[in-house]
Structure 1
């Protein structure tokens, strides 16, 4: 079997595992270790190829020394990392980019050279992963479901890294509901501290029964409603973290200085793209804020206005909003991350005319893709 090229950038996958954010990394190694006793994990795997189903999938900013394997000039690619030793990720791994020349052959060889529906299905799944800007669990589940993939729910849990960072934010968000649901609670903060992890975990336990009663949901509607609620809490938190970074990028884009020879035609295009990009990012920021405001008003109907059916109805029709929020937040996350990676010194961002043209064109394409 021809191996994918060794990737020096992922020599210490243990570090990647400890710092993984679900919006950037899908850690199938960790999921496999935690869920190996779950029947659904085996009956509805993410990848049907065992080797792939013990990989890490990463939304990766393409480095200059990687561009030769790609036919386009994309700034971000979907990277699949195949660990040398799954029990010790510090040993590193080999990787490939979805879309690099010959990547389908690499997938087939990772499966032992097998042909057939399982390999074809995994190739289609990788193509679907490459279509979205983020690997956050809510966008991922909705996108893959609409592409016809049936995958166990354990693959769409919020990571421990994100849970730790979300904890205080979610606790403050649900404080009113805790006061309403646990009327005998003299200290709602102690309830919040215990319930946040339970609420955001993939399992539905008896500790959440008061919430089920408050939401007036049963069976599958309860599972879907709870998933939707987690999703909006997740996106509110994620947007609260992204917003100041976006403000910085919006301020810096007009300040980006072009160095070296300035081709007049390229400069005209750069200035037009620069203005269009700033306006489009502002518009996407407002769209995200508007949808989250719809959630806030629905939640207020439950906690302040005593209208649980209004919030229930909102949750059960929320899947379209997941796609909208996930796609927009994913694009903004990519742009803010890629921008700071390329321009760490916010005081004097500068690049050649060709590089400025490529960066702005890529960002503009990403934002424009949200309208399709």
Structure 2
């Protein structure tokens, strides 16, 4: 990429994240199309030349998670989710960094924009008949575009996705099944009074039921936790999602700690600060604000996972299933909170790595540092306007 284009692209935080945000943030079908012959995610050629992306959107502050009534928040989040799903349509396929259009699936004129830029007529937004629009609607039901979540959700709808778009999904699926199995084993053993070998066999069937709620073991599990049968599908999807984000959070936490540590070191001072002393206090305040917001995102995830562990321990150690049952019933709200926070942290890791790759021996100029903070603040503030046209 020419240097001039790279510099211009770097000034657009949204476009930067669409094109370079990583697998959980963006499903870059342009990149897949250039690399993988014959693999098509959609039937429509315009969609296969786009980038599907997720972006934090709504202000969602949980300063004290213990004060949140998830029973009511669950319904609110299903309508006003803190994450937007959008389609980026570049003006020039050979140079997507030059800008294009973002079609947000929850904006009022979504059907009109799909017709204009994609060429599909949407007959019913809530219950579309077009197979590609159905796929988009399913994608909108998950907080991020990680291969595991894509696979788990599309499997639930019995829709096959080409394996090339789901790299690492099976490896992650094995890890998550293992994590859920470890949670289930003590519960199954106590409830059914089984020996170690029988517990393992029975647990495998219970875990299979979480991936396929139609199996008989699913009804045994929902009855044991006093769940309604119709709740099984959404609860199991959210449980898998929470476990996935727990794994993702634990994998990425060290990098976030490195970023927070770096912000407090001498390297986190622009090497040309002496030329910008008039703005020094403003710069330091901005840096402190971004650091606080990033710490808050980490804190939100830890609080949800703490509640998860507390409910589980109450079930296993205290023989009281109600807290764990209540956690699962309202898991969808927590699923979206975890997805939102993990996505913010994912964005921040990508922004930080790309910024430091342009550093001068690990230090940034005043302008580069300001761009780093601005990009991270845009993500963590989650109040980015839904601009239809995206310019570099």
Per the TM superposition, whether the score is higher than 0.5 is yes
Deviation at 1:293, TM superposition (A): 0.7
Correspondence for 2:345: 332
Q: Residue 251 of structure 1 aligns with which residue?
A: 261
* Equivalent pair of 2:209/2:216 in contact (CA under 8 Å): no
Aligned counterpart for 1:180 among listed residues 174, 177, 187: 187
Cα RMSD of the aligned pairs, angstroms, is: 5.2
Report the TM-score, using the length of structure 2 for normalisation: 0.58
Alignment length (residue pairs) = 298
Contact 1:57–1:80 (8 Å) recurs in 2? yes
Deviation by residue 1:117-171 (Cα, 9 ceiling, x = unmatched): 679x999x99xx99x984359999xxxxxxxxxxx84679995624413634652
Q: Which runs of 5 or more residues in structure 1 are unaligned?
A: 1-19, 31-35, 37-45, 62-76, 83-92, 141-151
Name which of 302, 309, 326 aligns with 1:296: 309
Would you say 1:50 and 2:50 are equivalent positions?
no
Inter-partner Cα distance in structure 2 for 1:174 and 1:251: 35
Alignment of 1:67-78 (within 5 A): none
Aligned with 2:44: secondary structure?
A: coil
Which residue of 282, 288, 292 corresponds with 1:279? 292
Q: 2:27 corresponds to which residue? A: 25
Deviation at 1:172, TM superposition (A): 4.0
Match of 1:143 in 2: none
After superposition, the Cα gap between the structure-2 partners of 1:252 and 1:58, relative to the gap in structure 1 and judged at 3 Å, is farther
Describe the SS at the equivalent of 1:25.
strand
Pairing of 1:95-244 with structure 2 (within 5 A): 100-101=99-100, 108=115, 111-112=118-119, 134-135=144-145, 153=157, 159=166, 161-165=168-172, 167-168=174-175, 170-181=177-188, 183-186=194-197, 198=208, 201=211, 204-206=214-216, 208=218, 210-244=220-254
- Aligned partner of 2:61 in structure 1 is none
> 1:344-367: per-residue Cα shift (whole Å, max 9, x none)?
599952222112112102212322
| TM-score, with structure 1 as normaliser | 0.60
SS in 2 for 1:239: helix
Matches within 5 A, 1:258-273: 258-260=270-272, 262-273=275-286
Structure 2 CA distance, aligned partners of 1:116 and 1:174? 42
Following superposition, the deviation at residue 52 of structure 1 comes to 5.3
- Asked if 2 retains the 8 angstrom alpha-carbon contact of 1:257 and 1:351, the reply is yes
Q: Distance in 2 between matches of 1:226 and 1:349?
A: 44
Tell me which of the two structures has the higher relative contact order, counting C-alpha pairs closer than 8 angstroms and 6 or more residues apart: 2
Q: Distance in 2 between matches of 1:354 and 1:296?
A: 43
Q: CA deviation at 1:244?
A: 0.8
Q: Distance in 2 between matches of 1:300 and 1:166?
A: 24
Question: Unaligned regions of 5+ residues in structure 2, if any?
Answer: 1-21, 34-39, 56-84, 104-111, 151-155, 386-392
Q: Distance in 2 between matches of 1:198 and 1:174?
A: 10
Deviations, residues 77-126 of structure 1 (Å, cap 9, x unaligned)? 966489xxxxxxxxxx86858x94456699556534x677679x999x99
